[in-house]
Amino acid sequence: MRTLAAGAGAALLAITPALAADQADQIIRGQYQAVLGDCAGCHTRPGGKPLAGGLSLETPFGALVPPNITPDHETGIGNWSEIDFRNMMKTGVGHDGVRLYPAMPYPAYTRMTEQDISDLWAYMTTVEPVANKVEANQLPFPLNIRLAMWGWNLLNFSEAGFQADPSKSAEWNRGAYIVQGAGHCGTCHTPKSFLGADQDSSFLQGASLQGWFAPDITNNAQSGLGKWSQEDVVAYLKTGVNAHSIASGPMAEAIENSTSKMTDPDLKAVAVYLKNLGSDTGSAQAPKPDEARMVAGEAIYRDNCSACHGGDGAGAGALFPTLIGNSIVAQGNPETLARVVLAGSQAVHTTGAPTTPSMPSLAWRLKDQEIADVLTYVRGSWGNSAPAVSSDDIAAVRKELVP
């Protein structure tokens, strides 16, 4: 972040003083748009130069590498015009008519205002140019033919601005604009069709990607944010921790790079909007798990989990997440839960919650059936009522982790 700010400062020196103040404002606003859009989350490699290209994204269709979007002329977007950039954000068609794959969330960014995109562009031009050639398209034939995206867009995409709902408050609408637009929450949290397009009817109801299950973030009482207060949502996005959960996996990264840097009013707006999103799926109580498995699971829980998470599953503040009503525990899909037990997880570092406690990997210690039993116990105890977990569920995640 410091490097970004320094880059912005250096560019400012080159423009005339009369313009400088206005332009500085615009660049700063654009930098905030980059925070909202979490550009760095994909386009900056861990430890790498800002926006000079990221780590490969494993999509169901193959690998895509987020390209270098610094203003380098050879390897970045230095030859792009503002119009190119605007069209890319709005339509998924970039410089020279190159069609993007929707791993770049233009189906969300299309809802951004012209002003916000223009601000973002102003900021992008000030980033330090880095020469780093990235081969973005590593998809197999025929998916690697970008022209195919013409057809995809025809079926799945339409350029659209954000549709405000005049019956709702300005705060709600600001939240909706961030969630649907720059924040592109649905890119992870909305289930996808077989073509990889968002299933709008299941908006934000939870989806599996890259070996994690991004949970339901509607206001669903069982699997979603129903038990969270607005303040809980804000605390989670700002610090990575609240009374119900500690962020893990890709969300931890999104919090570190993006949501922890959002303004408090924007976080509150997001919370207002999410808390107002109804969904009626998944609210049915799962059938009571088999008693023998509950007994086996409880014994495993006492031996392996209770020292941190407590005999009653209540955890300890910002250190050990509660398992009672925990959204990761409550999802119908146990993928993230299994993954955290097998591989461990480390909490995100934020100013408000700097501890970064870790859950250790237990893959070496517990067999698939044992993990299935203990997770079945956790999902069926203390008021939780998520479905039982099978050893096959665990085996599938273990296989992904140790190919």
Partner 1 sequence: MTTILPRKDVVIVGLGWTGSILAHELTDQGLDVLAIERGPWRDTATDFNIGYAQDELRYSVRRDLFLQPAVETLTMRNDPSQTALPMRDFGSFLLGNGVGGAGVHWNGHTWRFWDSDFQIKTNLTKRYGAARIADLQVEDWGVTGAEMEPYYDQFEYLAGISGKAGNIKGQLQEGGNPFEDPRSRDYPNPPMEMTYAPTLFANAGRSMGLHPFPTPSANMSRTYVNPLGITMGQCTYCGFCERFGCANYSKSSAQTTILPVLMKKANFEVRTDSEVLHVDLAAGGKSARGVTYVDTSGQEFFQPADLVLLCAYGLHNARLMMLSGIGRIYDPATGEGTVGRNYCYQTNAGVQVFFDDKNFNPFIAAGALGQTIDDYNGDAFDHGGLDFVGGAGINCIPTNGRPIGTRPTLPGTPKWGSAWKKATVAGYKSTLGFSSQGSSSATRTNYLDLDPTYKDRFGRPLMRMTFDFPDNDIRMSNYLCDRMEEIAKTLGGKQYNVGRRKKGWDSVPYQSTHNTGGAIMGTDPKRSAVNTFLQSWDVPNVFVIGASAFPQNAGKNPTGTVGALAYRAADGIRNHYLRNPGAPLVQA
Binder among 2, 135, 166, 194 for partner 1 (CB under 8 A)? 2
Query: Does 308 contact partner 1 by CB under 8 A?
Result: yes
What are the tokens at 49?
């130069």
Nearest-approach distance from CB 323 to partner 1, in angstroms: 15
Q: Of 307, 312, 396, 401, which one interacts with partner 1 (CB under 8 A)?
A: 307
Q: Smallest distance, Å, CB 383 to partner 1?
A: 22
Question: Residue 356 interacts with partner 1 (CB under 8 A)?
Answer: yes
Site string for partner 1, 320-339 (x = CB under 8 A): x-------------------
Determine the Cα–Cα distance for residues 320 and 356; give it in Å rounded to an integer.
Answer: 10
Residue 394, helix vs strand vs coil = helix
Q: Identify which of 210, 281, 282 has the alpha carbon closest to the alpha carbon of residue 251.
A: 210
Q: In what order do the strands lie in the sheet with 57-59?
A: 57-59, 62-64, 137-138
Looking at the Cβ atoms of 4 and 330, the one nearer to partner 1 is: 4
Select from 59, 349, 369, 385 the one that contacts partner 1 (CB under 8 A).
349
Q: Give the interface size with partner 1 as a residue count (CB under 8 A).
A: 25
Query: In the numeric block, which tokens belong to residue 219?
Result: 């206001």
* Of 49 and 146, CB closest to partner 1: 49
User: CA geometry: angle at 191 spanning 395 and 103, to 5°?
Assistant: 95
- Amino acid at position 90, single letter: K
Q: Which residue has the tokens 């969630």?
A: 179
Instruction: Indicate which single residue of 342, 362, 375, 389 sits in contact with partner 1 (rule: CB under 8 A).
Output: 362
State which residue, 192 or 261, has the beta carbon closest to partner 1: 261
Pick from 59, 229, 304, 391 the residue near partner 1 by CB under 8 A. 304
CA distance linking residue 52 with residue 69, whole number of Å: 6
List of residues 6+ apart from 112 with CB closer than 8 A: 33, 89, 90, 120, 162, 181, 182
Single residue of 91, 346, 385, 391 touching partner 1 by CB under 8 A: 346
Q: Residue 364, interface with partner 1 (CB under 8 A)?
A: yes
Per rule CB under 8 A, is residue 316 in the interface with partner 1?
yes
Which of 390, 369, 365 lies closest to 296 in space, CA to CA? 369
| Cα–Cα distances in angstroms (integers) from residue 394 to residues 141, 333, 334, 340, 376, in the given order | 32, 11, 9, 11, 11
- Binding test (CB under 8 A) with partner 1, winner from 6, 21, 55, 319: 319
Among 16, 167, 285, 351, binds partner 1 (CB under 8 A): 351
Nearest distance in Å: CB 302, partner 1: 12
318 touches partner 1 by CB under 8 A: yes
Of 1 and 145, the one with the shorter C-beta distance to partner 1 is 1
E strands in 139-284: 207-209, 212-214
Residues that bind partner 1 (CB under 8 A): 2, 304, 307-308, 316-320, 344, 346, 349, 351-360, 362, 364-365
